[in-house]
A and B are shown apart, each in its own frame.
Chain A
Amino acid sequence: MVLTAIQSTVRSSTTYQHLSDRVRYARQDISRAMPAIPGLPYLYVSPFFILFAIFLLFPAAYTFYLSFFNYVGASNEILLSIQMGPLLITIPEIANLEFVGLSHYERLIFRDSLFHRSLFNTSFIFFVQVPTMVILGLATALVLDAKFIRAKGLFRTLIALPVATGLVAYSTIFLLLFNGEVGLVNYLLETIGVGSIPWLGDAFWARITLVVAVTWRWLGYNMIILLAGLQTVPEQLYEAAEIDGASRWQKFRYVTVPQLRPVLLFVIVSSTIGTFQIFAEPYVITGGGPSNATITIVQYIYNQAFIQLNLGYASAVSVILVVLVSAMSIIQIRYGSES
């Protein structure tokens, strides 16, 4: 964890520690003799765990359960009337459901072309966006790490500024910028003679627009993490490489990249998870169009669940999404930690 800065603020309270050194043994006796309040730690963690169980664990399990059912309508039974027999907890019925077994999964995997489309779109964004952003983020971090650059703090703050724009806020900005009629981007392109590009009207360009938007939003975030990673690379390694006559590229390839490996891995894995969860951008910028060319998996879940009310089917898509994302993360971590 990158927490040294936080911890150093705590260490400033060393005056206490000095006092404590002198009476350490006496105090240890006292604290051992003190009547411990047996349930106290549980009292501290229980508010967290109650909410955690109701709003995180239960829904996660219920999604899995729901994926084997068809949603027929809201149930009249009272919620959370969990029958607590002797160690028997039945899953509460919050909807009238019809058991359909694995048929949702069968339909999803073999027959649902719109789902396949959303999977393709999400993968396209993933394969173009993640490498672009990681390379660009790394380049920016490397430049900002160079000794000769002035006003580093200012540049870092400005490049990180999009992190503070909300998903919807920045999406609306890009909706305006890439608009075919009033968009500034097309206006500039026309003026320099390239001609206007149908950003939101063409399948390929609509996907590219999403890639540009997502990269713009997350570049600064990844740059900050990579920059922090770069600053932990020991200076001696570069000096040793220099003595051996290493070129700039060789220093990057044989010192920076191996040292930065864990941080790079974190950036890649979290970007992967991020791109598979994209929703606000296509919802606002492209609306999933043109003709479903930019519909993402999460958007498909949203449409299935809250527009068509196929809650069971949408749950099955959610389960597939979790499996996909976990599998990708595990593969990346496995591959990335090999030395």
Chain B
Amino acid sequence: MQTQDKQEALWKFGSYIFLLVVTAIVLIPLYWMLVAATIPQSEFFSWPPRLLPGTHFLENFRALQENVDFVRSIGNSIIIAVSYTILSLILCSMAGFAFAKYEFRFKEPLFYFILATLVLPIQLLIIPLFLLMVQIGWTNSYLAVILPWAANPLGIFLMRQNMKAIPDSLLESARMDGATEFQLYYKIALPTMLPSLAALAIILFLNQWQAFLYPLVILQDPQMFTIPLALADLVGQQRVAFDQIMVGTSLAVTPIFIVFLTLQQYFIKGILSGSVKQ
């Protein structure tokens, strides 16, 4: 009996050690990024390694802003990610509402057709989309980045699944009270769906904020760069200025971390919504 207790204690101890090691491995690179952003590159070598952030953040940031217009790229990222999220939420929730709450011809085939396109890797679309944007003269424009992925198959799927949970009786009583059909969507469905809209919004925003390959192809003017493009541009330069790069990386990542830590339940809900359980 006593050996079993010992084994049990050992097991618990081992589990905690494992968990702490994994957590440490996950956090050390992020912490080092913050440290590296606040010290001059010459101090990267110091031994023992710098454990606390320095005071060089502003100097590093000034050098970064001189090198690439980082403030501008943050602005670009915000404009693109916010408008993309709003547009996609409207499109997906409207279509999802129709698929969940109305009967119409070709409903099932249309829906399963959309689902089937989930397997298409976006790389497949990049070449024709590039040609298309060149032809209509939209390269280096916000619209070229915002529009193509706004009709998001995953978004419509999640919206349909969630909107199915709105009781029909709720919609009917609103109808009885004289609500128009559009008000059913706007005044009943959207407010009831706020938690799942939030989860989808976070996933959409994050995807667009982090998007790299497609913006890299479409946005070639540095003035139009989003944050990932500006960061990659820094890496591509002759002399790799890690101090500047780390300032840029921290500035790109920290706001997202704050959102993540405060809204992590929605984040996780969004991640899980994309997964298949049965």
Q: Which 8 A-B pairs have the closest CB atoms?
A: A20-B169, A166-B210, A44-B98, A59-B128, A55-B148, A51-B151, A168-B228, A52-B151
Knowing A139-B18, A301-B123, A318-B123, the reply to whether A224 touches B91 (Cβ < 8 A) is no
Q: Who on chain B is nearest to A26 by CB?
A: B176
- Contact status of A273 and B121, CB under 8 A, knowing A63-B128, A182-B242: yes
Most chain A CB neighbours (cut-off 10 Å) among B99, B117, B196, B249: B249
A residues less than 8 Å from B41 (CB atoms): 182
The reply to whether B95 and A172 contact each other, CB–CB distance below 8 Å, is no
Q: Give the complex CA separation of A101 and B206 in angstroms.
A: 41
In the complex, which of the residues A31, A48, A146, A305 contacts B94, with contact meaning CB atoms closer than 8 Å? Answer: A48
Let me know if B151 and A172 touch, CB within 8 A.
Answer: no
Q: Is A52 within 8 A of B114, CB to CB?
A: yes
Main secondary structure of the interface of B (DSSP, over half): helix
Say which residue of B45, B151, B252, B261 sits within 8 Å of A55 (CB atoms). B151
**CB atoms of A66 and B128 under 8 A apart:** yes
Is B142 located at the chain interface by the 8 A CB criterion? no
Q: Is the CB of A176 within 8 A of B123?
A: no
CA distance A224 to B83 in the complex (A): 29
Report if A34 contacts B (CB, 8 A): yes
Quick check: is A89 within 8 A (CB to CB) of the other chain? Answer: no
Using A55-B147, A188-B49 as known contacts, list a sample of 14 further A-B pairs with CB atoms less than 8 Å apart, ordered by residue number in A: A1-B273, A2-B275, A27-B172, A48-B95, A48-B156, A52-B114, A75-B135, A160-B260, A160-B267, A169-B231, A273-B121, A283-B232, A306-B217, A315-B127
List, in ascending order, chain A residues with CB within 8 A of B27's CB: 158, 161
Interchain nearest-CB distance for B88 vs A (Å)? 9
Chain B residues within 8 Å of chain A by Cβ, number: 116
The minimal Cβ–Cβ distance linking A309 to chain B, given in whole angstroms, is 11
B244 CB to nearest A CB, Å: 10
A261 to chain B, nearest CB (A): 10
From known contacts A20-B173, A279-B213, infer whether A60 and B124 are also in contact, taking CB-CB under 8 Å: yes
Check: B92 CB closer than 8 A to any chain A CB: yes
Q: Which chain B residue shows the least CB distance to A174?
A: B29
Q: Is B253 an interface residue (CB 8 A)?
A: yes
CB distance from B1 to the nearest CB of A (A): 15
Given contacts A216-B25, A306-B217, contact A42 B131 (CB under 8 A): no
A-B contact count (CB 8 A): 349
Any B CB within 8 A of the CB of A5: yes
Asked if residues B19 and A144 are in contact (CB atoms below 8 Å), the reply is yes
Contact A16 B170 (CB under 8 A): yes
Residues of A in contact (CB 8 Å), total 119
Rounded to whole angstroms, the CA-CA distance of A139 and B18 in the bound complex is: 9
- Are B130 and A280 in contact, with the CB atoms below 8 A? no
B15 to chain A, nearest CB (A): 5
Q: Is the CB of A318 within 8 A of B124?
A: yes
B223 interface residue, CB < 8 Å from A? no
Task: Summarize A's interface: helix, strand, loop or mixed.
Answer: helix
A201 within 8 A of B: no
Q: Does B126 contact A (CB under 8 A)?
A: yes
- A262 and B277 contact, CB distance less than 8 A: yes
Which residues of the other chain, A, contact B74 by a CB distance below 8 angstroms?
Answer: none
Determine if A45 and B117 form an interchain contact, defined as CB atoms under 8 angstroms apart: no
Question: Which of A1, A176, A228, A314 is in CB contact (< 8 Å) with B161?
Answer: A1
- Per-residue B-contact encoding for A271-314, CB less than 8 Å = 1, 0 else: 00100110110011000000000000010011001100001001
Q: Which of A157-195 contact B (CB under 8 A)?
A: 157-170, 172-177, 179, 182, 184, 187-188, 191
Docked pose: A52 CA to B151 CA in angstroms: 5
CB–CB B47/A16 < 8 A: no
Q: B25 contacts which chain A residues (CB < 8 A)?
A: 216
Contacts of B235 in A (CB 8 A): 172, 175, 284
A108 within 8 A of B: no
Q: How far is the CA of A55 from the CA of B91 in the complex (A)?
A: 14
Interface centre among B19, B104, B162, B278 (most CB of A within 10 A): B19
B127 and A318 contact, CB distance less than 8 A: yes
Establish whether residues B128 and A41, one from each chain, have CB atoms under 8 Å apart when the complex forms: no
- A-facing residues in B52-103 (Cβ within 8 Å): 90-92, 94-95, 97-99, 102-103
CB distance from B275 to the nearest CB of A (A): 5
Q: Which residues of B contact A166 (CB under 8 A)?
A: 209-210, 212, 227-228, 252-253, 256
When distances are taken between beta carbons in the complex, the residues of chain A under 8 Å from B147 are 51, 55
- Decide if A63 touches B124 in the complex (CB within 8 Å): yes
Whether the pair A6, B98 counts as a contact (CB closer than 8 A) is no
CB proximity of B277 to chain A, nearest CB, Å: 5
B contact residues around A27 at 8 Å (CB): 169, 172-173, 176
Taking CB atoms, residues of chain A closer than 8 Å to B44 are 182, 184
Question: In the complex where A13-B167, A74-B135, A191-B47 touch, is A6 in contact with B231 (Cβ < 8 A)?
Answer: no
